Chains A and B, each alone.
Chain A
């Protein structure tokens, strides 16, 4: 049982490049989330999804896009990378609403130079 799997673990992007952060879960959770974590700051919600085909913006969605074609997968797309997107990105899932707590993936450390 792998839980929530994120790839890649590390990535360096040049300004203006694009990339997709992959996230997959094998717990049959309907709810999935993307967060970013900056030093000294709490986790900030980028996008979330309540099921296949349904996504919505979180607190800091600018510069990102998501899709949810299956229950298992919730990729995060960065278009035109900027230094402000340097961060650690975590994907998470839960069996219900936010009352249930989250299972997090191992994270992707992204540096934009």
Chain B
């Protein structure tokens, strides 16, 4: 079992729809959870962080965390073609270790 698992996609949604990206992790002691956006040929960019169970909203983005189910998700409301990218889930048990998933490719159709 991979430490951080994501569906590779591509996930295709129409413009204006909600995109739902999911991630599961194996280390139960994980403390910090992140979503990075990576455009093709570019570097990852931190867009959301979440540390406690529940939802965290930032503009059109909502991160959801369920530690009991070892599950973290990212919702993108009113998806735009500019949201088309690969989204990396990252999980940290603390200290200096962060485990990255391989990413989910999102394609928003205009």
Q: Which residues of A come within 8 Å of B, CB atoms?
A: 31, 35, 40-43, 45, 48, 50, 56, 90, 97-99, 101-107
Contacts and interface: CB of A to CB of B under 8 A. Distances in A.
Interface of B: 4, 8, 31-32, 34, 42-46, 49, 51, 88, 90, 92, 94-103
Interface centre among B95, B96, B102 (most CB of A within 10 A): B96
Contact of A98 (B43, B44, B97, B101): B97
28 contacts: A31-B96, A40-B102, A42-B4, A42-B99, A42-B103, A43-B88, A45-B97, A45-B98, A50-B96, A56-B96, A90-B44, A97-B92, A97-B94, A97-B96, A98-B95, A98-B96, A99-B32, A99-B51, A101-B32, A101-B34, A102-B44, A102-B46, A102-B98, A104-B43, A104-B44, A106-B42, A106-B43, A107-B42
A31 B95 CA distance: 11
A56 to B, nearest CB: 8
A43 B8 CA distance: 14
Nearest to A6: B43
B102 A103 contact: no
